[in-house]
Amino acid sequence: WDEVIAPGAVLLRRHACAQADVLVAAARVVVAAAPLRHLVTPGGQTMSVAMTNCGEWGWVSDRRGYRYDPVDPASGRPWPPMPGIFLDVARGAALRAGYPDFAPQACLMNLYRPGTRLTLHQDRDELDLAAPIVSISLGLPAIFLFGGLQRSDRARRFPLQHGDVAVWGGPSRLAFHGIAPLAAGHHPATGAVRLNLTFRKTR
């Protein structure tokens, strides 16, 4: 059932299903304190994904660049703490994938509505690229695009479903990846949206 989709990339299908409702409830608490917002890229484009963060550090983008910031620029206050259930599920998945000491300092929360997409990109704003990234998919399914180390490498498509958890480490850590435009639908856990949580060691 666990599938190695590339060297270092392990997909734990449905791993978080039993905790999904608790994860969604905890996500709502975070969003109440740090509302979802559409960030602007350094190039001036407004992202179609709505984002917020919890934990010690949050990923932000604006005209000045991408970075991790301990303060939510919208409120001037620290990001909300990472809910215990977020940490438990992320650490459990990392352990299962062969990373026994994963200590995430940031959780980026990505909200997708129908039509929302994330174009192919690399995650390289973290200072410790040896640590994996753990992602949890909740709600509507999405097509994950998984390319290679060059933008021009052909991307494979993997469906990501509610409760799927993936651990991205080793040679996959710098692979280009993205999300195809979300199809409309309804999911009992989230309604008309997909929520993705990504956990990172930032420094």
Residues that bind Fe ion (CB under 5 A): 123
Cα–Cα distance measured from residue 156 to residue 91, given in angstroms and rounded to the nearest whole number? 27
Which amino acid is residue 111, in one-letter code?
Answer: L
Residue number of the CB atom closest to ligand MD3 = 196
One of 53, 116, 135, 202 touching ligand MD3 (CB under 6 A): 135
Sequence-separated (6 or more) residues with CB below 8 Å from residue 176: 120, 121, 122, 147, 148, 149, 150, 151, 153, 155
Binding partner of 106, given Fe ion, ligand MD3, none, CB within 5-8 angstroms per partner class: none
If one asks whether residue 162 binds ligand MD3 (CB under 6 A), the answer comes out as no
Asked if 15 touches ligand MD3 (CB under 6 A), the answer is no
Name residues whose C-beta falls within 8 Å of residue 43's C-beta, 6 or more positions apart in sequence. Answer: none
Residue 172 DSSP symbol: G
Query: In this complex, which beta carbon is closest to ligand MD3, that of residue 26 or of residue 165?
Result: 165
- Select 73 or 76, whichever has its Cβ closest to ligand MD3: 73
Task: Give whichever of 16 and 108 is closer to ligand MD3, judged by the CB atom.
Answer: 108
Number of residues in contact with ligand MD3 under rule CB under 6 A: 15
Position among 90, 179, 182, 193 found at the interface with ligand MD3 (CB under 6 A)? 179
Q: Give the separation between CA 80 and CA 54, rounded to whole angstroms.
A: 5
Q: Is 123 in the site for ligand MD3 (CB under 6 A)?
A: yes
CB 149 within 8 A of CB 174: yes
| Spatial separation of the C-alpha atoms in residues 5 and 159, rounded to whole Å | 12
Binding mask 18-57 for ligand MD3 (x = CB under 6 A): ----------------------------------------
- Of 70, 165, 69, 66, nearest to 124 by C-alpha is 66
Among 173, 182, 199, 202, the residue binding ligand MD3 under the rule CB under 6 A is: 173
Is residue 165 a contact residue for ligand MD3 (CB under 6 A)?
no
102 with 131: CB under 8 angstroms?
Answer: yes
Site of interaction with ligand MD3 (CB under 6 A): 108, 110, 118, 123, 133, 135, 166, 168, 172-173, 175, 177, 179, 196, 198
